[in-house]
Structure 1
């Protein structure tokens, strides 16, 4: 519980305004956590409600500190209001990622008016939200990852292709044909590659997963030879720990046989693992997402040429359209990674425009050589 503080002097106008802003933000953040909790169950709901309760304590502190200067309720910061809107409309990992960033940038750290305990609370909140956001990210299938990177690849590769072929001095119709060919070839290649990648990853996990029926062999093993210990040693346990675990399993088996318990209902002897498809996602989902989103991204650079734009005008429009799309997808990746979305958006834009610039120069050189 935060200790009460008494004002030894009249607060300045700047302090009053700052404390009122803190009060509004704490109230809004508590509402965000309660809204997120409303759409969840179990342990996650309990954690979010506990965070909301903590923010409510901070709100009470600033209200008490303001005293007669509390004034009328004011609007929280724009970013906090935006997170509240996201929580009400979606309640997704995007909101948690934004809250993680907001909590880690608490202004209390540099403010002498804020108690150290509240500043520490906010920094711990960032770690709590980081954990919740990580859970949500892990629930995303391989299809979502394939979708995001497929769209980025489609945008960059086909823009580079269109701008490069434009630099060689060809007609708009040939640029359009080249762009459509690049869309289809790239989308099929991405889908095939994603399918092979996810399928291979799943097969590797299956090969590393213990046989779920291995526990049925325990009654036939020689207790004295104790080959079960070799299984545990192969899985990384030390010789002593493996022997101890094997003895424990044999003791449990003997007890279960004595009371007539069916081990088919309780296969504790060999650990059970999640199905590989649950870990890496469906290969067909990943391939389909990769194909569709690559094609969607690759379609944007050829839009102006579908309407008969000239090579130069079409290339300029394509660059503008793709730049907007790259800023958007880069921002999404930044939000999901818990990093500053603007930095990721600008990085993605720089990569896309850099690739287009290189191919344009090569196109110019190629056009000059064959011209």
Structure 2
């Protein structure tokens, strides 16, 4: 994870001193120990300490298996810390703070510890420079790659719990921002009065929010019903004692669920040989599928509220009494800020670049609104 900045030639910063052993690196025969090397190692050391502390802080907010996994990650960072301590020897100097990103991660871990923090940790692990640093061992570079996957797995649990409602919230907010801005700009460009623009914006807010809420409820409810229809029937287990072992039609169940004919025959015979009253044909869904899609009511309410809040943003200038080009400029500016925020949030949660996702949201949103504005100008000119 550590990615120290190149300090450049000259005297080391942050209180570093000239190397105590300027000829060789301890344990690495024949390799000269430069001021730059010492500074880089001290930065690595500071980052490893900060990362280990962040994982311990995250572990303190969890229980069970997740806590054990996070503590194991902190222990692994401690092994990396020891590597840099061994290299530095007498040049370890006073402790340095971790880099800005690592310190931010630690601060968030101490105060929040949710899926957003895990997503940040996942992204931080992906930035490790150990793979290209000759002073880091291959096992350390491999550790960092595996750490990224471990954190990704932990973050995925939280993403699954959030994704249904979160998807509805993000989609609702962005749809409200873009659709209502496009509506207001299109009507305003056609030459309509300020009161007409305001009324259209409020009508678009209410109609869109109701439509989004109803649509999300039907969508999520239908998806859950499809998942329920795929859940094995518990009554089927009652038929197991009466099955003909030679015909073994139970094998057809497993073949229908994706096993090969040979695997299905073997598994079905094993099930019948070890049958108990608790035996079931196939395990019921764990609930992850339902968590991924969220509850129908939760998605509907979230979509309604976030669409309404997004659609309100471009209406605000008109509610405050602005009109004409000033209202258009203010509405566009407010929507741009909101799109930047939602795009960055999606980027953080997905473990990707928040800047890239934010700019993508702005480009798509303002592009759609600009197209509608041009159509409004054309329509207004035609009518006139």
On whether the aligned pair clears a TM of 0.5, the verdict is yes
Per the alignment, residue 226 of structure 1 pairs with 248
Q: 1:93 aligns with which of 115, 120, 141?
A: 115
Moved more, 340-349 or 117-126: 117-126
Q: 1:171 aligns with which of 193, 206, 218?
A: 193
The offset of 1:238, in angstroms, is: 2.3
Q: CA RMSD in A?
A: 2.0
Residue correspondences, number = 359
Supply the distance in 2 between the matched residues of 1:224 and 1:61 (Cα, whole angstroms). 63
Supply the distance in 1 between the matched residues of 2:261 and 2:144 (Cα, whole angstroms). 45
Supply the distance in 2 between the matched residues of 1:274 and 1:50 (Cα, whole angstroms). 26
- Contact kept? 1:22, 1:62, Cα under 8 Å: yes
Per the alignment, residue 202 of structure 2 pairs with 180
Per the alignment, residue 204 of structure 1 pairs with 226
Supply the distance in 2 between the matched residues of 1:293 and 1:182 (Cα, whole angstroms). 14
Q: For structure 2, which runs of at least 5 residues remain unmatched after alignment?
A: 1-24
- Confirm whether residue 272 of structure 1 aligns to residue 284 of structure 2: yes
- Contact kept? 2:26, 2:89, Cα under 8 Å: no
Q: Secondary structure at the match of 2:274?
A: helix
The offset of 1:197, in angstroms, is: 0.9
Q: Deviations over 1:233-292 (max 9, x none)?
A: 222222222222222222223xx4xxxxxx1xx133443234564553211111110000
Per the alignment, residue 322 of structure 1 pairs with 335
Higher relative contact order (CA 8 A, sep 6+): 1
The offset of 1:4, in angstroms, is: 6.6
The offset of 1:225, in angstroms, is: 3.3
- Confirm whether residue 53 of structure 1 aligns to residue 75 of structure 2: yes
Per the alignment, residue 168 of structure 2 pairs with 146
Per the alignment, residue 150 of structure 2 pairs with 128
The offset of 1:98, in angstroms, is: 1.1
- Contact kept? 1:326, 1:348, Cα under 8 Å: yes
The offset of 1:167, in angstroms, is: 1.4
- Contact kept? 1:4, 1:61, Cα under 8 Å: no
Per the alignment, residue 364 of structure 2 pairs with 351
The offset of 1:141, in angstroms, is: 5.0
The offset of 1:310, in angstroms, is: 1.3
Moved more, 149-158 or 6-15: 6-15
- Contact kept? 1:212, 1:270, Cα under 8 Å: no
Q: For structure 1, which runs of at least 5 residues remain unmatched after alignment?
A: 257-262
Matches of residues 288-367 of structure 1 in structure 2 within 5 Å? 288-367=301-380
The offset of 1:82, in angstroms, is: 0.9
The offset of 1:13, in angstroms, is: 3.0
Q: 1:19 aligns with which of 23, 37, 41?
A: 41
Q: 2:138 aligns with which of 112, 116, 120?
A: 116
Q: Deviations over 1:12-53 (max 9, x none)?
A: 333232222211111110011111111112222111111101
Supply the distance in 2 between the matched residues of 1:4 and 1:140 (Cα, whole angstroms). 49
Supply the distance in 1 between the matched residues of 2:150 and 2:313 (Cα, whole angstroms). 39
- Confirm whether residue 368 of structure 1 aligns to residue 378 of structure 2: no
- Contact kept? 2:47, 2:99, Cα under 8 Å: yes
The offset of 1:173, in angstroms, is: 1.6
Supply the distance in 2 between the matched residues of 1:157 and 1:364 (Cα, whole angstroms). 17
- Contact kept? 1:97, 1:338, Cα under 8 Å: yes
The offset of 1:121, in angstroms, is: 1.8
Q: TM-score, normalised by structure 1?
A: 0.91
The 4+ residue runs of structure 1 with deviation greater than 4 A are 6-10, 275-279
The offset of 1:159, in angstroms, is: 1.4
